Amino acid sequence: MCTRDAAAEQLTNWQKDNADTIGYAKNSAGIGIVNADTSLTIGVRGVIPLRDYQMMEHLQHFNRERIPERVVHAKGAGAFGEFTCTASLEDYTVSKVFVEGTKTPIAVRFSLVNGSLGSADTVRDIRGFALKFYTEDGIWDLVGNNTPIFFVKDPMLFPMLIHSQKSNPVTNLRDWDAYWDFLTLNPMTVYQTLRLYADKGIPNGYRYQDGYGCHTFSLIDKNRQLTWCKFTYETNQGTENLDTDEAVKLAGTDPDYATRDLYNSIANGDYPSWTFYVQLMTTDQAKALDFDPFDITKIWPEDDFPKQKVGEFVLNRNPENYFAEIEQLAFSPSNLIPGIGDSPDRLLQGRLFAYQDAHRYRLGVNNRQLAVNAPTNGTANFQRDGAMCIYNQGGAPNYYPNSFGGPNPDPDAAQWTNPPQEFSGKEDYYPEYYQDDNYSQPKSYWENDLDDDEKTRVVNNLACSLECTKEDIQKRAVEVFTNVSEDLGDRLAKALNLDSVKGQLKA
Ligand code: HEM
């Protein structure tokens, strides 16, 4: 990519604003740097003495520049902006984020799931779409994707899914046998797979995609009544997708296509924005449903649970420094504020633990003291010390209870969590949950949401990928897609040049 766009002008722009004021080079201790490009040597052709500590410091810091990349969603881009509530949700939640007119600063990070840092932006993959709200009651993270559902519904299966989609441990290559083996052995994945191979599977950059919180969350009102809720954010730019061939070409010519597009649009003042919706479900409605409303492999039909517009958000500031503000951004689904809570969604329950653990590994135990992760309303607790501690809470008591005026638990926080919920049943493993009607919703999607042209593209995309795997796995895939729709199964079998496989394998 050789265009002189806003991204290409970054250094020139920096120079205009800063070059006159930056002063002389100083090391990390503020000591003037003697020579920035030459080592100290004994004579022109001689050795470097150990006392050239500035050269040592320079090399040693360089050796430590890389931190572990995110185990998933490594490649991404982010920006900052503001969420505005345009229609109050006060009847359902005490959260001030949803009081009409309230503006909340946000950080957003977009990502791809499977590729490593440096992989191409235009491959067929789910896109992460994570929102961090810096609210006056603490951080709320909505760590969503660009699809409303997910492949699996039990946290045990998440590492299995990812192992089957990342590199083979021997060849270090993408392994299409592992990929399709896992998906076809787990029919709960079929709806997400079908959506992934449709047009929205390769969005035309991050600005042209919708986002979804995916899970069912709870809203808690001033009487501590709970309403179940799903969050959706629709792009105001309109959805746009890339044609598969164009995407493949771009992966070679401009692998950072989506990152560049986001940066340039914001740098040019063309701020991308999204409209924010909720779907609501009462606890009684949830009990009466013929499907599990906490199953992340299923949507809530909009006819029954219409979307209500509650706000908008805009991204109007690029990071001043990518590593500091985006690579070190840390989202956790456990960051839930008073008035917004979790649900019995199994996958969400697993995610409540997984992310903070990942942050401690990736960024360290004090990662929440980093500016982009710190709550704007401060911290007062009983955690102390640890690597890279910046704010250690001074002389406040570090134990509880104490008689020295240390912080007490917050009655508001206690009041506005989920009200007591009743669960019953025997403690056991229930794999039958995986068979819970995997086909009705993808069937309806195939029949009602896709026109014939897109159906043809879905089949071609699926066939193109399935061609890379073994015939028995291809046949199993046809079987699974036939369970969605005979039409889809037939078309796929034809595209793969497989004779009818119906009846050859067990359903
Ligand atoms: C990132 C685990 C399911 C969306 C991550 C990370 C981990 C993780 C460990 C890296 C975090 C970091 O280093 O900062 C899991 C587990 C899951 C799960 C164990 C299931 C049990 C999901 C689902 C969604 C999702 C269902 C979408 C609804 C994301 C996003 C990121 C991410 C958007 C990137 C966040 C960022 O931009 O920093 N996940 N994940 N994940 N996950 Fe998940």
pLDDT recorded at residue 481: 98
47 and 144 assigned to the same domain = no
Q: Is 73 a catalytic residue?
A: yes
Tokens 């401690």 -> residue:
360
404 in any annotated domain: no
Per-residue model confidence as pLDDT tens digits over 413-446:
888 899 999 999 999 999 999 999 999 999 999 9
Asked which of 369, 403, 422 is the last residue of a domain, the reply is: 369
> From the alpha carbon of 214, which atom of ligand 1 is closest?
28
Asked which of 39, 63, 87 is the last residue of a domain, the reply is: 63
Q: For residue 28, give its domain range.
A: 23-63
259 and 310 assigned to the same domain = yes
Q: Which of 152, 206, 326, 355 to mutate to test the pocket of ligand 1 (most atoms within 8 A of CB)?
A: 355
298 in any annotated domain: yes
Distance (Å) from CA 25 to ligand 1 centroid: 40
258 and 360 assigned to the same domain = yes
Q: Nearest C-alpha to atom 37 of ligand 1 is from which residue?
A: 109
- Let me know: does 27 contact 54? Beta carbons within 8 Å: yes
Neighbours of 25 (CB within 10 A): 12
Distance (Å) from CA 355 to ligand 1 centroid: 7
418 in any annotated domain: no
Could you tell me where the DSSP H helices lie in 254-367?
Answer: 257-267, 283-288, 322, 346-362
> From the alpha carbon of 111, which atom of ligand 1 is closest?
37
Distance (Å) from CA 107 to ligand 1 centroid: 16
Task: Evaluate whether ipTM surpasses 0.90.
Answer: yes
Say which of 13, 18, 27, 73 is annotated catalytic. Answer: 73
225 in any annotated domain: yes
Instruction: Answer left, alpha or beta for residue 284, where phi above 0 means left and psi between -120 and 50 means alpha.
Output: alpha
Residues 6+ apart with CB under 8 A from 384: 392, 393, 398
Per-residue model confidence as pLDDT tens digits over 470-496:
999 999 999 999 999 999 999 999 999
11 in any annotated domain: no
pLDDT recorded at residue 506: 40
463 and 351 assigned to the same domain = no
Ligand 1 contact via 347 beta carbon (within 6 Å):
yes
Residue 212 is assigned to a ligand binding site: no
310 in any annotated domain: yes
User: What Å distances lie between residue 120 and 123, 124, 352, 421, CA to CA?
Assistant: 6, 10, 29, 45
218 and 316 assigned to the same domain = yes
231 in any annotated domain: yes
pLDDT recorded at residue 502: 52
What predicted TM-score, i.e. pTM, was given to this entire model?
0.96
94 and 32 assigned to the same domain = no
Ligand 1 contact via 144 beta carbon (within 6 Å):
yes
Q: Nearest C-alpha to atom 22 of ligand 1 is from which residue?
A: 351
Asked which of 369, 402, 420 is the last residue of a domain, the reply is: 369
Ligand 1 contact via 230 beta carbon (within 6 Å):
no
462 and 347 assigned to the same domain = no
Distance (Å) from CA 463 to ligand 1 centroid: 28
280 and 335 assigned to the same domain = yes
- Let me know: does 119 contact 112? Beta carbons within 8 Å: yes
Residues of the chain with pLDDT under 70: 1, 500-507
Ligand 1 contact via 333 beta carbon (within 6 Å):
no
57 and 126 assigned to the same domain = no
Among the listed residues 473, 491, 495, the one whose alpha carbon sits nearest the alpha carbon of residue 482? 491
Distance (Å) from CA 47 to ligand 1 centroid: 49
311 and 338 assigned to the same domain = yes
Ligand 1 contact via 111 beta carbon (within 6 Å):
yes
Burial class (CB in 10 A: 0-12, 13-18, 19+), 11: exposed
